[in-house]
Amino acid sequence: MTETKSPGDLRQLVGEGAITAFYNRIRDLTGWRAGLVAFGAGALSNLSFAPTYLWPVFSCGLMILVWMLDGTARGRHPRRGAFWRAFCFALGLFGVGFHWVAFAFLVNPGTHLAFIWMAALLPIGLALIWGGVVRVMINWWNEGPGRVVLLGISLFIAEWIRGHLFGGFPWNLPGMVWAPGGAISQSASLFGIYGLSLLTLVAFCGPAALLDPRSNITAKGGAMGRAIPVVASALIFGMLWGWGAQRLGDSPVELTESRVRLVDVGAPQAEKFEKHGMVLRRYRELTGSEHPGDPSLVIWPEGALPYLLLQDPAALDLVTERLGNRKLIAGTVFEDRQLIPKKAYNALAVLDSQAVVRGAEQIYYKHRLVPFGELVPFRNVAAMIGIGALQQLATDGFYSGPKPTTLSANGMPDFLPLICYEALFPGLLPRRRLEMQDDADFGLDPQPKWLVNISIDAWFGPLWAPYQHMEHARYRAIEEGLPMVRVASRGKSGVIDAHGRITALATAPIDDPANPPGWKPRLLDAQIPASIQPTVYGRWRDLWVWLCLIGVFLGMLVLPRD
């Protein structure tokens, strides 16, 4: 019979003396040293996200934060110390993780470089949320394993706030450490990325209690009490992995007969306006004329052309004259000139060969706008000091449209649109109904069969942000139970099934002497995967997140507090 080791044996195996020395060193840090270590722990935690997915690093970072809070909770100014440590940890996490925001100010440095300091405001503001929540939470800090669950719940609340406050910025939520399309990621179909983030935070804080070397706090529960958060998390994630693996195993990739052509000319963002004629010509060439057997639908990325396409008859005629019987989904800017002052919208339009005469078959105006990229907060004040939007076609910023709704056009499956930044937001799309409901009998809106996500990832720079943007989009497919076709300018373009698996990916740039230097065009013909029955999350949204939060909170109450 194999002998099992208790948590106390585990600490001895690792080296109890070494752990005690490390714990004491971390706990006793103060001032700038505490801030520096917390910042480093947060910065390194970014290795847990795409493309590396080294998720144990995040758990180690949170363990350091727990042990630092142990020290400040016993100090003279526990609230101030807790705020400082959580703020610095979050500043490292968000400052490194959101480095790509600064690249947007470098696209046209002559115009925007003077405002690059604004890129620092985002991580600082989000770090203030973490610091403020932990400052309140420290009032209920204790010596036992219950504290790690308390911190996990508190950080989840902070993440919920940063995902919703002032429109929200839910980039790299903690649940994103699990690669989409894998077994654990399938649980997002039950309670979304926020529910998965809650469980992840609690699980990742657990080792801080398991490896706690103090011997004077074992009266209630002893070594087994320390292990409860880790054991419970292991059981929960084990069940999630087993359920997700079975779900994937029972659901082989199923493709429909609908085919699409994804087109991106790969022009650097800084050159799109300088070489606007070349941009238009290359999109026409890559789209090609209609031939038998070609996909019946073509998709271009967000802001594909540097024109007000729907209001430029000459450009619109050149775009649509080769379509034949095909449809084109393209990102463009639309300007409402009937209003004073005029309003510009970041739009997605469905076009056919008669668009010059009849206009767009369908048009969607982007609902969630990127602060300072598309939307300039306090427009009048910003205009007085010269701050404009980064989008060249809307220097005063875009205006927001209504929430996404299902778009229908003849000859193509009904779909839900998401433009760029909108793919970060779980629950933005309308709730799905059971497929058995008859739309005509009930007078309901048509049922979507797939998602379309167009984006400009040329703003994000050359590092890992374009890859991470694709991973966010894959989670939306899992949550909704709908396949997605994604076309991103100089980003990751491809087709994703309803379980978050990539079925086709535009990889190598087209090697064509017609390409200007530095351009990386990509072309992909692929089939659209089949949709599946509405998911639990697609029907009930965050109801199960709050039930999960209540369950975790009740579990914390029964854990030893000393």
Query: What does R_g of the chain's alpha carbons equal in angstroms?
Result: 26
In angstroms, the Cα distances linking 20 to 8, 13, 210 are 13, 13, 13
Active site residue 302: yes
**What is the CB neighbour count within 10 angstroms for residue 414?**
15
Catalytic position from the list 366, 422, 449, 471: 366
Record the tokens describing residue 388, joined without a space: 């404009």
Please tell me the distance from the alpha carbon of residue 92 to that of residue 439, in angstroms, as a whole number. Answer: 50
Q: For the CA atoms of 214, 24, 22, 155, what is the dihedral angle to 10 degrees?
A: 80
Contact call for residues 19 and 211 (beta carbons, < 8 A): yes
Please tell me the distance from the alpha carbon of residue 185 to that of residue 324, in angstroms, as a whole number. Answer: 41
**What is the CB neighbour count within 10 angstroms for residue 18?**
11
CB burial readout 135-145, b (16+ within 10 A) else e: bebbeebebbb
End-to-end C-alpha distance for the chain, whole angstroms = 34
Please tell me the distance from the alpha carbon of residue 150 to that of residue 127, in angstroms, as a whole number. Answer: 19
Active site residue 366: yes
Please tell me the distance from the alpha carbon of residue 323 to that of residue 199, in angstroms, as a whole number. Answer: 49
Query: Which residue, 430, 301, 456, is CA-closest to 374?
Result: 456
DSSP state of 558: T
Pairing state between β 297-299 and 327-336: parallel
Pairing state between β 343-351 and 362-365: antiparallel
Q: What amino acid positions are annotated as catalytic residues?
A: 302, 366, 420
